[in-house]
Amino acid sequence: MNSIPQKTEQYVLGTYARAPFVLDHGQDMYLYDTGGKRYLDCVSGISVMALGHADPEITAVVNEQIAQLSHVCNLYHTAPHANLAEALCRSSFADKVYFANSGAEAIEAAIKFARKYARVTLGPGKTQIVAFSGAFHGRTAGALALTPREKYQAPFRPLMPDVVYAPFNDVGAAQKVIGPQTCAVFVEPVQGEGGIHPATPEFLQALREACDRYRALLVFDEIQCGMGRTGTLWAYEHNGITPDMMAVAKALGGGLPIGATLLTDRVAAVLQPGDHGSTFAGGPVICRVAEVVLRRVSDQTMLDHVNAMSSLLMARLKQLSSPHITDIRGLGLMIGVEMDIDVLPLITAGHRYGVLLLNAGPRVLRLLPPLIITEEHINELTETLDSILSEFAAS
Ligand SMILES: *Cc1c(COP(=O)(O)O)cnc(C)c1O
């Protein structure tokens, strides 16, 4: 007996707790394990599979591009690279794009760009970065320093210096901490890992004003909440406050790895060849795929669908009768159901019922279904949640 879970345990570094089944293939909203069991996917590989699994247009583009040209590195021009950069700029506040391979890498790039911008334009010493309680910006050394969670940071100290934290959504505290020493403020317009908390418009407005006052850069992390997830292409569109830089990843890749740091010309002006780089980033295959995803999730019909499904799902969730639900919140198809019990047993029960669910911290059930979800899937999800919650009603 040498099962895949056993093999994983023997040979793969144990930095993840995995579900006990083995996924084999997927189609649209569903994943199938090696035993043929079907699961309704409400995780999307953590906000990645916006178009669902095995989308035919993505499959076709990958096949076509990989046969034509798969990798050249960033010493050469390719059309997919330039085309994706143009599409990202046209769809957002940005004038320029830097390509990376993941969310954390897009954040690392933004950290370097912010530090260089402050040094070149305002001199040395303006190096402090502000991040917020509940934030998640990634696991690499710089991104980890902006992710104030004791469990993530403690084993790896000392962290990148000159980072300070303020409470999320607290205007007064943010105004107090942002000052002449600040080079950048990093914030998620909707916190994901931190429990699905949208930033208030007043909070984002106060950050924008404080950054302008002290010539610091406002950096939005839309790695999880961007790409149509909240019902607008970018989450910042909900209140019209624009950043100086923005990190994008997850759904942009349609299932393949990518990250992108979007920036204004003002910031881009300080960066030169050699300041940053990546062997793989911005390759022709991923750029072709990302251009497809960006076009499809920018489509107003898709965004209208996200908003309609969001209203329906929110309404159905509010009808669930469980004594343990304490709050239901979110934006678009980024929804958190806060409970007064540990949600991990509910996620495990979901495996039995054939529904994949995610948590955000110990007590928030996080729903991030593919954006192609329909009313039928919402019925299946909420009926299953009803059954699961009734199992836990008395506990
Ligand atoms: C997932 C995530 C990251 C890190 O992205 P990776 O691709 O896992 O490195 C950073 N910020 C936010 C908001 C995320 O959700």
Model confidence at 386: pLDDT above 90: yes
pLDDT grade, residue 1 (50/70/90)? low
What token pair was written down for 352?
Answer: 């039995």
Tens-digit pLDDT profile for residues 235-249: 999 999 999 999 999
What pLDDT shows up at residue 176? 98
CA distance 120 to 304: 43
Pick the closest to residue 136 from 112, 107, 97 (CA basis). 107
For 231-249, give the DSSP string.
SSSSGGGGTT---SEEEE-
Say how many Å lie between the first and final Cα of the chain, rounded.
Answer: 37
Which residue among 256, 283, 298 closes a domain?
Answer: 298
Tens-digit pLDDT profile for residues 315-337: 999 999 899 999 999 999 999 99
Tens-digit pLDDT profile for residues 77-98: 999 999 999 999 999 999 999 9
Same domain, 156 and 294: yes
Pick the closest to residue 258 from 247, 267, 266 (CA basis). 247
**Three-state DSSP state, 135:** coil
Model confidence at 157: pLDDT above 80: yes
**Three-state DSSP state, 219:** strand
CA distance 143 to 141: 6
- Strand partners for 256: 254
What token pair was written down for 268?
Answer: 């881009």
pLDDT grade, residue 198 (50/70/90)? very high
* Average pLDDT across the chain, whole number: 97
Model confidence at 2: pLDDT above 90: no
Same domain, 352 and 286: no
- Which ligand 1 atom is the nearest neighbour of the CA of 249? 7
Which residue among 282, 298, 314 closes a domain?
Answer: 298
Same domain, 267 and 293: yes
Same domain, 288 and 367: no
Same domain, 50 and 120: no
What pLDDT shows up at residue 393? 84
pLDDT grade, residue 342 (50/70/90)? very high
Same domain, 45 and 65: no
Instruction: Name the residue at shortest CA distance from atom 6 of ligand 1.
Output: 103
Same domain, 224 and 130: yes
CATH of the domain at 239: 3.40.640.10
Measuring CA to CA, how many Å separate 189 from each of 1, 7, 162?
48, 40, 23
- Which single residue is written with the structure tokens 């085309």? 83
Same domain, 307 and 371: yes
Bond before 189 cis per omega within 30 degrees: no
Instruction: Name the residue at shortest CA distance from atom 5 of ligand 1.
Output: 103
Which of 101, 108, 132, 136 maximizes ligand 1 atoms within 8 Å of its Cβ, making it the mutation to test the pocket?
Answer: 136
- Which single residue is written with the structure tokens 């995610």? 358
What pLDDT shows up at residue 183? 98
Same domain, 148 and 164: yes
- Name the percent of the chain lying above pLDDT 70: 99
Domain that holds residue 327: 4-55+300-394
Contacts of 180 (CB under 8 A, 6+ apart): 126, 214
Query: 312, 375 in Cβ contact below 8 A?
Result: yes
| Rama region for 327: left / alpha / beta (φ>0; ψ in -120 to 50; rest) | beta
Same domain, 73 and 147: yes
pTM of the entire predicted model = 0.98
What pLDDT shows up at residue 47? 98
Same domain, 206 and 332: no
Work out how many domains the chain is built from and give that number. 2
**Three-state DSSP state, 191:** strand
CATH of the domain at 345: 3.90.1150.10
- Which ligand 1 atom is the nearest neighbour of the CA of 191? 13
Instruction: Give the Å distance between the CA of 321 and the centre of ligand 1.
Output: 33
Same domain, 21 and 65: no
Contacts of 105 (CB under 8 A, 6+ apart): 140, 259, 278, 281
pLDDT grade, residue 395 (50/70/90)? low
Instruction: Give the Å distance between the CA of 194 and the centre of ligand 1.
Output: 12
- Name the percent of the chain lying above pLDDT 90: 98
Tens-digit pLDDT profile for residues 5-44: 999 999 999 999 999 999 999 999 999 999 999 999 999 9
Pocket of ligand 1 (CB under 6 A): 102-104, 107, 136-138, 188, 192-193, 221, 223-224, 249-250
Contacts of 196 (CB under 8 A, 6+ apart): 190, 329, 330, 334, 335, 336, 360, 364, 366
